[in-house]
Amino acid sequence: MKKKNRSLFLAVFLLLCALLLPLEARAADISVFVNGKQVSGDTQPWVNEESRVYVPLRVIAESLGYACSWDQVSGSAFLQKGAETVKLTLGSNYYTVNGKRVKGDSYPVAYRGRVMVPVRSLGEAVQAQVQYDAAKNSVIVWSAADTVIGGGNSGITGGGSSSGGNSAAPPATGGNSGNSGNSTGSKTLAGRTIVLDAGHGKVQPGGWTDPGAVGYYGTPERDIVMDIVYKTAAILQKKGATVILTRAADQTWLTLAGRAAYATKYDADIFISVHCNANENRSYHGTAMYTNAVSYNSYADTKLAQALQKHTVAALGTRDAGLFQGSFGVLRNLPCAGVIAEIGFISNLEEEKKLAKNSFRQKAAEGLAKGIEAYFAAK
């Protein structure tokens, strides 16, 4: 993947935007109302796989009276209205409001040269009430000063629970001893079923892409993790495992629950969701594993996370950033051990460069595969 100058990247995206927009399918358009008035920009809101609603920051912020500016170096948008200042950074859950750090619900992403921000996070960052009204398919924004908030709009993030993910059959690779696999076959992996989930997705409802976190040079997490998953699957398959992928490059979107459901459907032994980490502090780097604090398989989760961490860090020579627990939709209700593998920080300039290298992604795949083998060997 070529390193791109961010301004060139944005310029190309803006050009694409101008060229492609009239042709864009607009079936699922979401209306935006600010203080009761409909506003329109050149970028439509979209709903991601977690039913989070993303809205274009600038058009809403300007409608609320903020002046907007953009810093290419930090990947940050700055809003200002009187003495009030807000900073939002691509790929970061943290917002700075009047100098104070606030942890938001999710992070802004770049799309076609526009900063798209989750509705709930926007509400936390600016002095406004921001809601998504699923029934009306509308984002409704009220300045704090005119907080009227119509009754009845219960949910902030819409419940438009599209049941995505069942249209395309997942590519199931390998299995059965067959292909000259005797020399490379592994007793520990033969007969095992492994679900690999490449985080984020190519196509979201309405045709929007979810790139995941995007690095300073414009590398999208979505593509990096897809490649690592393909490479990992190839290794595991050679060793006799059956590998199920929740998505391939151009597959339609999946809900997080839909991804986890593959583990049940295919009676999997383990489930691994592969991601790249991101933080507004670009010095953060290293490899980390995440499991759910509440899980039916806590012991196995931890064992798998430890094995993956040990072997991935060894293969990559990255900093051991540690094991963490949280509450992740993609790991919820798994019938087997489940781990989110954060290979490196795409927000760190050095690690983004590494992740963009084919040889580094191959090593990541080898590390993950070794970790998987070690996990099964210890069972």
- What angle (nearest 5°) sits at the alpha carbon of residue 106, between those of residues 162 and 310? 100
Helix, strand, coil distribution of the chain in percent, nearest 5: 30, 30, 40
3-state secondary structure of 114: strand
Helix or strand holding residue 85 (H, E):
strand 84-89
> What is the smallest separation between the CB atom of 307 and Zn ion, expressed in angstroms?
21
CA distance 112 to 88: 17
- CA neighbor of 261 nearest in space, from 329, 172, 201: 329
Phi and psi at 193, nearest 5°, equal -115, 125
> What is the smallest separation between the CB atom of 210 and Zn ion, expressed in angstroms?
9
When asked if residue 104 is in the footprint of Zn ion (CB under 5 A), the reply is: no
98-106, 193-201, 305-313, 359-367 -> range binding Zn ion (CB under 5 A): 193-201
Per-residue x/- marks for Zn ion, 140-179, CB under 5 A? ----------------------------------------
When asked if residue 56 is in the footprint of Zn ion (CB under 5 A), the reply is: no
Sole binder of Zn ion in the list 275, 311, 363, 370 (CB under 5 A): 275
Q: Decide if 344 contacts 276 (C-beta within 8 A).
A: yes
> What is the smallest separation between the CB atom of 199 and Zn ion, expressed in angstroms?
4
> What is the smallest separation between the CB atom of 200 and Zn ion, expressed in angstroms?
6
> What is the smallest separation between the CB atom of 306 and Zn ion, expressed in angstroms?
21
CA distance 81 to 243: 52
CA distance 349 to 224: 15
Between residues 210 and 373, which has the closer beta carbon with respect to Zn ion? 210
When asked if residue 211 is in the footprint of Zn ion (CB under 5 A), the reply is: no
3-state secondary structure of 378: helix
Between residues 48 and 297, which has the closer beta carbon with respect to Zn ion? 48
CA distance 344 to 193: 26
CA distance 191 to 169: 21
Between residues 225 and 261, which has the closer beta carbon with respect to Zn ion? 225
Between residues 85 and 325, which has the closer beta carbon with respect to Zn ion? 325
- CA neighbor of 207 nearest in space, from 27, 18, 42: 27
Q: Which amino acid is at 353?
A: K
Sole binder of Zn ion in the list 45, 113, 170, 199 (CB under 5 A): 199
> What is the smallest separation between the CB atom of 125 and Zn ion, expressed in angstroms?
21
- CA neighbor of 242 nearest in space, from 296, 175, 169: 175
73-81, 148-156, 195-203, 282-290 -> range binding Zn ion (CB under 5 A): 195-203
Between residues 199 and 258, which has the closer beta carbon with respect to Zn ion? 199
51-59, 103-111, 126-134, 268-276 -> range binding Zn ion (CB under 5 A): 268-276
When asked if residue 212 is in the footprint of Zn ion (CB under 5 A), the reply is: yes
> What is the smallest separation between the CB atom of 364 and Zn ion, expressed in angstroms?
14
Between residues 126 and 214, which has the closer beta carbon with respect to Zn ion? 214
Q: How many helices (H) and strands (E) does the chain have?
A: 8, 20
Residue nearest to Zn ion (CB): 275
When asked if residue 123 is in the footprint of Zn ion (CB under 5 A), the reply is: no
> What is the smallest separation between the CB atom of 212 and Zn ion, expressed in angstroms?
4
Residue 311 class from Cβ within 10 Å (0-12 exposed, 13-18 middle, 19+ buried)? buried
> What is the smallest separation between the CB atom of 213 and Zn ion, expressed in angstroms?
6
Between residues 222 and 363, which has the closer beta carbon with respect to Zn ion? 222
130-138, 207-215, 245-253, 283-291 -> range binding Zn ion (CB under 5 A): 207-215
User: CB count, 10 Å around CB of 103?
Assistant: 10
Residue ranges binding Zn ion (CB under 5 A): 199, 212, 275
